[in-house]
Amino acid sequence: MRRRMVIGLGNPSCGDDGAGRACVAALAGRLPAEVELIESDGEPAALLALLARAREAWLIDACRSGAQAGTVRRFDVTGHPLPALAVPHSTHGLGLNEALELARALGMLPERCLVYAIEGCSYRTGASLSQPVRAAIAVVAERIVRASAR
């Protein structure tokens, strides 16, 4: 049976890039039991495999678009691609957007798929999360708690 899942993406060793995974950690114990909490480094084949077994997915990732740090954007990608947000490209140019569009092309996209993008400001190796991003994580976590209860 396809599941409901929250997938936090990023690298916790690179400052605000760890926002998605920190949000998943903040959601522990706060969601209905059937909602899986997953941390992922965003490797596209692995992410695709996750999406293939989800019927509803919330994905959380950091982004770098030039907006004010801590800005939260919510995108419903069920029917439309993720807009270009200057998310840094991953290895071989396969990042979150490519994984989502591959899932769509292959008929593996969940019936409902939402992306929360948190604007970061510091991606330095070894840095901790910036204060605006910490605040944004709490906001996103709260929104997902409410949405998943529906």
Give the residues lining the site for another protein (CB under 8 A): 41, 43, 45-46, 48-49, 90-94, 98, 101-102, 105-107
User: 36 vs 43, which CB is nearer to another protein?
Assistant: 43
**Given the DSSP bridges, would you call strands 35-40 and 54-63 parallel, antiparallel or unpaired?**
unpaired
Of the candidates 123, 51, 55, the one whose C-alpha atom is nearest the C-alpha of residue 87 is 123
The least CB distance from residue 104 to another protein, in Å, is 9
The least CB distance from residue 122 to another protein, in Å, is 20
Amino acid at 111: E
The least CB distance from residue 19 to another protein, in Å, is 19
User: 22 vs 100, which CB is nearer to another protein?
Assistant: 100
The least CB distance from residue 76 to another protein, in Å, is 20
User: 62 vs 144, which CB is nearer to another protein?
Assistant: 62
User: 70 vs 95, which CB is nearer to another protein?
Assistant: 95
The least CB distance from residue 13 to another protein, in Å, is 10
User: 102 vs 121, which CB is nearer to another protein?
Assistant: 102
Q: Edge-to-edge strand order for the sheet containing 54-63?
A: 35-40, 3-9, 54-63, 112-119, 72-76
Helix (H, G, I), strand (E, B) or coil at 4: strand
**Given the DSSP bridges, would you call strands 72-76 and 112-119 parallel, antiparallel or unpaired?**
antiparallel
The DSSP code sequence of 77-114 is: -SSSPPPP--PPP-GGG--HHHHHHHHHHTT-S-SEEE
